[in-house]
Structure 1
């Protein structure tokens, strides 16, 4: 049975003259058994942890909604506005997270500087 939903892993053909075989074995990953097909951290929309990318994507969907509004397609307008709303919530999450991280970094710097000054 062929499962079309599962991605097939690439299996190279065996080489006759051992070209490209370096360590004496085909699969020498020191006992670590993991899938290394290059798609482990693949994200379809680019990096959605960068606030600039999220903001740009949100603006893209807002512009698409305006274009759909001018062409008179209310369903497409609503779809694009829902996408834009999702990215605006994502942007506010990222901004809050970055604010918390910077606040924690400032607290850590103050704590370490007071500890350093108390040692002398």
Structure 2
């Protein structure tokens, strides 16, 4: 007669219940990488980087940190592509629409400047 697994048996085997067990080393590496990226972001201010380079570096470091947090701590790296697209595509579409509206606003502003002097 085959015996069914009991509760303690299920607790000792993480793969038997279908859950994902990520090693603690992965989380520690991501925390260290986030700390390094934050330090580099603060170094931009410490070394008084100015102009376009300053904002480009700050935005790059911000995007890298946000991507790491989303991928690892929100477990998006292990999700299906359909779920990733369902979560990431709508904000991307909104950003494109905001960019288009900003371009139209610039055009309208410049056109008013030309004709209403």
Which structure dedicates a bigger proportion of its chain to helix? 2
* Structure with higher RCO (Cα < 8 A, 6+ apart): 1
Name the TM-score, length of structure 1 as normaliser. Answer: 0.34
Name the TM-score, length of structure 2 as normaliser. Answer: 0.35
Larger radius of gyration: 1
